[in-house]
Amino acid sequence: MLLGVGPDGPVRGRRVAVTGMGVVSCCGIGLDAFWDGLQKPAPDGERRVVGFDPTAWFGPKEVRRVDRFAQFSVAAADMALIDAGEIGADPDRSGVVFATGVGGLETLQEQIGVFHEKGPRRVSPFLIPMMMVNAGAAHVSMHAGWHGPCETIATACAAGTHAIAAAARLVATGRCDVAIGGGAEAAMVGIGMAAFGNMTALSSEGKSRPFDARRDGFVCAEGGAAIVLEDLDHARRRGARIYAELLGSGSTADAHHITAPAPGGNGAAACMELALADAGVSPTDIGHINAHGTSTPLNDLAESQAIEKVFGSPSPPVTSIKGVTGHALGGAGAIEAVATALTIDRRLIPPTAGYEQPDPEIHLDVVHGQARPWDPAPALSNSFGFGGHNGCLVIGPPPA
């Protein structure tokens, strides 16, 4: 990762390895179940996480004091740490950067009901620590026992990607030897769904069709994911399994509109170019793009235009896993980063479920129908959020 420019040119930081991953998704809990789910057709109906038991991570009293989004955060991070094996890092040099879009919305809605029905004295004293957006990161650090930086990013649908990028920089700069980056969301409660529905962001048919000509909105989802990011030399010394290398990242703002993307995808294109420069790769080096691909008319078109500006036509193979997973908002970027690393590790690009009818305005090589084998190369993972937040990761195969 590029840290800056010194008198002798670019200054590069330590190399960052991906050594552990965890995921809680509507298409599967755990890496293997999640990966299998990505190969299947789009599910019918809501994209809720079924079969999740938080008591595997929280005691009977504690579990009632932790919002669902923070439960997802801890579960994903714990799975990632178990996957990483015996890290042996100094707790003071181990950090957490986690993301969410809206935090504990379920708890907030519930306690507003209590306030109106039973009065202010019956409002839970745990409301604030349950709803605050930093609760996920805080619980992850407490469960891990890590004393390094513990930070939260809330940049809407780009938050998970930004969190992983920030965690990687903690390692690249030498502040930490290991860091967990990730994100989680659990906003599928009445008030959240009503708000998204009333702003016409959701699909009227309840179908996620990224880049398809019939797309008419996203399908809301919940879930979370986490990645263990480790100094490459540290990972090698302990004999860790290395899934991938996080090569670089980019972040820009559209500065255009609170919900709509900049015309022509200019902000997204700039973000992709910054990520490539940070990684020290060119557009021709990118072998795959895991797109933001929300299934909304404006966003998919703007992203496709941005990809065409940066990569030309034909584009590298593009997929959006939101056809299966739906859109997990602040958790989406983290879930998709895990999918991208698995795509490299398993040498297979998942198909874009729901894509059947090409849009004549979109000129992308959309992987669809079935998974596509590939020879792993650097891959780009895109996330673009309300507020004009853009985030991109460049993830490459593990070094020889």
The sign one gets for the Cα dihedral 270, 271, 277, 281 is negative
Report how far residue 41's alpha carbon sits from residue 72's, in angstroms, rounded to the nearest whole number: 24
The predicted-structure confidence for 290-348, as pLDDT tens digits, reads as follows: 999 999 999 999 999 999 999 999 999 999 999 999 999 999 999 999 999 999 999 99
- The alpha carbon of 387 is separated from its chain's Cα centroid by a whole number of angstroms, namely 17
Residues 6+ apart with CB under 8 A from 179: 94, 95, 96, 97, 148, 149, 167, 168, 170, 171, 228, 229
pLDDT averaged over the chain?
A: 96
For the question of residue 271 being annotated catalytic, the response is: no
Report how far residue 360's alpha carbon sits from residue 235's, in angstroms, rounded to the nearest whole number: 46
Catalytic residue among 234, 292, 368, 389: 292
Collapsing DSSP states into helix, strand and coil, what is residue 315?
coil
Report how far residue 207's alpha carbon sits from residue 295's, in angstroms, rounded to the nearest whole number: 9
On whether the CB atoms of residues 210 and 322 are closer than 8 A, the answer is yes
Report how far residue 275's alpha carbon sits from residue 393's, in angstroms, rounded to the nearest whole number: 6
Residue 324: predicted pLDDT: 98
Collect the ranges in the chain with pLDDT lower than 70: 5-9
On whether the CB atoms of residues 319 and 349 are closer than 8 A, the answer is yes
- Strand segments, DSSP code E, in the chain are 2-6, 9-12, 16-25, 28-29, 94-99, 150-153, 178-185, 223-231, 244-253, 288-290, 317-319, 348-349, 365-366, 372-373, 379-385, 389-396
Catalytic residue among 327, 368, 389, 392: 327
Cα dihedral angle (209, 244, 68, 99), rounded to 10 degrees? -90
Match 């079924």 to its residue by tokens: 50
Domains by residue range for the chain, with CATH: 16-396 (3.40.47.10)
For the question of residue 327 being annotated catalytic, the response is: yes
For the question of residue 363 being annotated catalytic, the response is: no
Report how far residue 207's alpha carbon sits from residue 220's, in angstroms, rounded to the nearest whole number: 10
Biggest CA–CA distance in the chain, Å, is 67
Report how far residue 400's alpha carbon sits from residue 381's, in angstroms, rounded to the nearest whole number: 22
Listed residue (202, 195, 224) closest to 49, CA to CA: 224
Other CB atoms within a 10 A radius of the CB of residue 312 amount to: 11
Report how far residue 47's alpha carbon sits from residue 337's, in angstroms, rounded to the nearest whole number: 19
Collapsing DSSP states into helix, strand and coil, what is residue 249?
strand
Catalytic residue among 27, 150, 157, 392: 157
Report how far residue 387's alpha carbon sits from residue 187's, in angstroms, rounded to the nearest whole number: 18
Q: What is the DSSP letter of 132?
A: S
Report how far residue 114's alpha carbon sits from residue 103's, in angstroms, rounded to the nearest whole number: 19
